């Protein structure tokens, strides 16, 4: 984990792809992040990577975590495979493929193993364990999210049986219309 700009040399580099379907202008967004980092005294600059090379550059960097050649700040996103806390939080495991920052806590990994073991037989205890893990991640500032998307569905009074799945959104196959 980076403590200050000197931990990685002269600058902190914010990495961004040149074009991203999820953001209208990713370079402008990360440019703002760079301004904020500079305001905080971290001497940041922006590195724009071609879209077709971004994944390999950020997620498969061979440079050591915390070094100049390793992403310190990067634009990324996460969509869970299923609606469970463990699915999202396990990206912070030591050495996880989806953890390009290299952030690592062996004690947190042990807590995740324990929470996974509880899921099948004690789901309430597992949820409490995942909540504790999430609180620790927030406390340690393992990640600084920029956005948290919210979906809104508007339906007519003639529509019935509206069901919204936490992963897939509105279930169109369940709707009926008068």
Indicate the helix (H) or strand (E) that contains 12: strand 12-17
Q: What pLDDT sits at residue 65?
A: 67
Query: Would you give the DSSP letter of residue 27?
Result: H
**What sign has the CA pseudo-torsion 11, 142, 62, 35?**
negative
pTM recorded for the entire structure:
0.67
Q: What are phi and psi of 110, to 5 degrees?
A: -65, -40
- Radius of gyration for the chain, computed over Cα atoms and rounded to the nearest angstrom: 20
- How deeply is 96 buried, as exposed, middle or buried, from its count of CB atoms within 10 A (0-12, 13-18, 19+)? middle
Q: What pLDDT sits at residue 167?
A: 76
Q: What are phi and psi of 44, to 5 degrees?
A: -95, 155
| Tokens (6 digits) for 70 | 């390793």
91, 99 Cβ separation under 8 angstroms: yes
| Tokens (6 digits) for 111 | 């807590």
Q: What pLDDT sits at residue 13?
A: 85
Looking at the DSSP assignment, which residues form a beta bridge with residue 20?
A: 23
**Parts of the chain with a pLDDT under 50:** 1-8
CB atoms inside a 10 Å sphere around CB 103: 20
């Amino acid at each position: 984990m980076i403590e200050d700009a000197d931990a990685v040399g002269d600058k902190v580099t914010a990495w961004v792809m040149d074009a991203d379907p999820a953001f209208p202008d990713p370079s402008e967004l990360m440019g703002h992040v760079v301004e904020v980092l500079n305001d905080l005294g971290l001497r940041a600059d922006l590195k724009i990577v071609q879209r077709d090379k971004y994944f390999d550059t950020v997620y498969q960097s061979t440079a050591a975590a915390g070094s100049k050649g390793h992403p310190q700040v990067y634009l990324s996103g996460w969509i869970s495979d299923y609606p469970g806390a463990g699915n999202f939080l396990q990206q912070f495991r030591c050495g996880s493929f989806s953890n390009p920052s290299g952030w690592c806590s062996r004690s947190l990994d042990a807590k995740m193993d324990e929470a996974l073991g509880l899921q099948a037989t004690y789901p309430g205890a597992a949820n409490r364990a995942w909540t504790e893990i999430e609180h620790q991640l927030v406390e340690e500032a393992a990640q600084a999210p920029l956005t948290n998307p919210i979906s809104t569905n508007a339906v007519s009074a003639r529509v019935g049986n509206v069901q919204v799945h936490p992963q897939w959104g509105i279930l169109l196959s369940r709707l009926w219309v008068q």
